[in-house]
């Protein structure tokens, strides 16, 4: 069996055009143009690419974007002052602090300082708590993109056995919570694996839907996949051979029924869901407009 490809580029364009249409209606009704402020500390080359792509997507969607570029040696206090300024600026609806931050900066303090109504990454504890309680304000962009990928390809989630490899705050943990919630896009039976999981292949082979987010190039091999499983590769790894995922795509596509490529799978969806959140942020802050 050769798996069919779950194309994130096509889906991302569809979602972005839905957002753009809703945004046009919002602007016509309120006269307010949503604005997303990105904060990029230092010169991390991968972060620069991510932020540039996010800004391009804003431009296409009709969202104004700002870029703030404090130097690599910025202190926590200086960054907190910038976040405070953006929190107070009524013209800024969404704030995105690009991770990773340089080592001297206390990341938790910075992410907690973002106004929860402007927290388009959904990293603030208040927003994380709301997700856990199944009353989200924003959904985190990458897990939301994966969930949309499953829903819009009519891949059954309810009752499915989902195995997630990786337990980060950004991907694995919120992904698990979202898929186990009651209701549409949830009701799965979720297992979360990590570096301490015993006999990982035995666990991953149980999955109807296998989501891999660990940051290890081509880690997931075909013997770790149940024939006919759906495989979602969140990994983005820069190697001499270019960008590769966490899944050994060529081998696994012969076993899986559906699989996401890297690049062109989950990555574009992450950006589409960020546009969604930027519009939601403006809508939330503009209730009385």
Q: Under the criterion CB under 6 A, does residue 225 sit at the interface with ligand NDP?
A: no
**What is the chain's length?**
289
Compute how many residues bind ligand NDP; rule: CB under 6 A.
25
Give the residue, chosen from 37, 164, 176, 213, that forms a contact with ligand NDP under the rule CB under 6 A: 213
Pairing outcome for strands 4-5 and 161-165: unpaired
CB of 50 to ligand NDP, least distance (A): 8
CB of 213 to ligand NDP, least distance (A): 4
CB of 289 to ligand NDP, least distance (A): 32
For the question of residue 208 being annotated catalytic, the response is no
DSSP secondary structure letter of residue 2: -
Q: Using the minimum distance from each CB to ligand NDP, give the nearer residue, 23 or 232.
A: 232
Closest residue (Cβ) to ligand NDP?
168
Helix (H) / strand (E) element for 219: namely: none
CA dist 102 and 96 (Å) reads: 16
**Per annotation, catalytic residue among 119, 121, 233, 246:** 121
> Strand, helix or coil at 243?
strand
Q: Under the criterion CB under 6 A, does residue 270 sit at the interface with ligand NDP?
A: yes
State both tokens at 217: 């190039």
CA dist 67 and 216 (Å) reads: 30
For the question of residue 54 being annotated catalytic, the response is yes
Strand partners, 239: 242
Stretch binding ligand NDP (CB under 6 A), from 52-60, 175-183, 211-219, 248-256 = 211-219
DSSP secondary structure letter of residue 104: T
Within positions 181 to 200, which residues make up the interface with ligand NDP, using CB under 6 A?
193-197, 200
Q: Using the minimum distance from each CB to ligand NDP, give the nearer residue, 61 or 214.
A: 214
Within positions 145 to 184, which residues make up the interface with ligand NDP, using CB under 6 A?
165-168, 170-172
DSSP secondary structure letter of residue 116: G
CB 36 within 8 A of CB 86: no
CB of 89 to ligand NDP, least distance (A): 27
CB of 61 to ligand NDP, least distance (A): 17
Q: Under the criterion CB under 6 A, does residue 215 sit at the interface with ligand NDP?
A: yes
Q: Under the criterion CB under 6 A, does residue 272 sit at the interface with ligand NDP?
A: no
Alpha helical stretches, state H, 114-260: 125-132, 141-152, 172-180, 200-204, 249-252
DSSP secondary structure letter of residue 271: H
CA dist 110 and 256 (Å) reads: 41
Q: Using the minimum distance from each CB to ligand NDP, give the nearer residue, 22 or 107.
A: 107
Strand partners, 95: 37, 119
CB of 52 to ligand NDP, least distance (A): 14
Helix (H) / strand (E) element for 39: namely: strand 35-39
Q: Under the criterion CB under 6 A, does residue 48 sit at the interface with ligand NDP?
A: no
For the question of residue 121 being annotated catalytic, the response is yes
Q: What angle do CA 54, 143, 94 make, to 5 degrees?
A: 40
The owner of tokens 């660990």 is: 214
Stretch binding ligand NDP (CB under 6 A), from 24-32, 35-43, 76-84, 210-218 = 210-218
Catalytic residue positions, numbered: 54, 98, 121
Residues that bind ligand NDP (CB under 6 A): 142, 165-168, 170-172, 193-197, 200, 213-216, 234-237, 266-267, 270
């Amino acid at each position: 069996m050769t798996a069919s490809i779950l194309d994130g580029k096509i889906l991302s364009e569809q979602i972005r055009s839905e957002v753009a249409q809703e945004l046009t209606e919002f602007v016509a009704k309120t006269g307010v143009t949503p604005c997303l402020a990105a904060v990029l500390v230092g010169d991390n080359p991968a972060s620069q690419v991510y932020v540039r792509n996010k800004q391009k997507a804003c431009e296409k969607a009709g969202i104004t974007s700002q870029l703030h570029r404090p130097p690599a040696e910025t202190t926590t206090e200086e960054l907190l002052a910038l976040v405070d300024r953006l929190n107070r600026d009524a013209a800024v609806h969404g704030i995105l602090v690009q991770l990773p931050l340089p080592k001297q900066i206390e990341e938790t303090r910075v992410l907690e300082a973002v106004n929860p109504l402007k927290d388009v990454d959904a990293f603030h504890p208040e927003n994380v708590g709301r997700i856990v309680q199944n009353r989200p304000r924003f959904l985190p962009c990458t897990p939301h993109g994966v969930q949309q990928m499953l829903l819009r390809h009519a891949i059954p989630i309810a009752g499915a056995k989902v195995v997630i490899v990786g337990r980060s705050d950004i991907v694995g943990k919120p992904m698990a919570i979202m898929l186990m919630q009651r209701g549409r896009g949830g009701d799965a039976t979720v297992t979360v694996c990590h570096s301490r999981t015993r006999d990982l292949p035995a666990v991953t082979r149980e999955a109807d839907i296998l989501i891999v987010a660990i940051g290890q190039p081509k880690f997931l091999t075909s013997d770790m996949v149940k024939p006919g499983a759906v495989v979602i590769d969140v990994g983005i790894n820069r190697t001499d051979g270019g960008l590769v995922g966490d899944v050994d795509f060529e081998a696994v596509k012969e076993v899986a029924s559906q699989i996401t490529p890297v690049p062109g799978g989950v990555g574009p969806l992450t950006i589409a869901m960020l546009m969604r959140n930027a519009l939601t942020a403006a809508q939330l802050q503009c209730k009385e407009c």
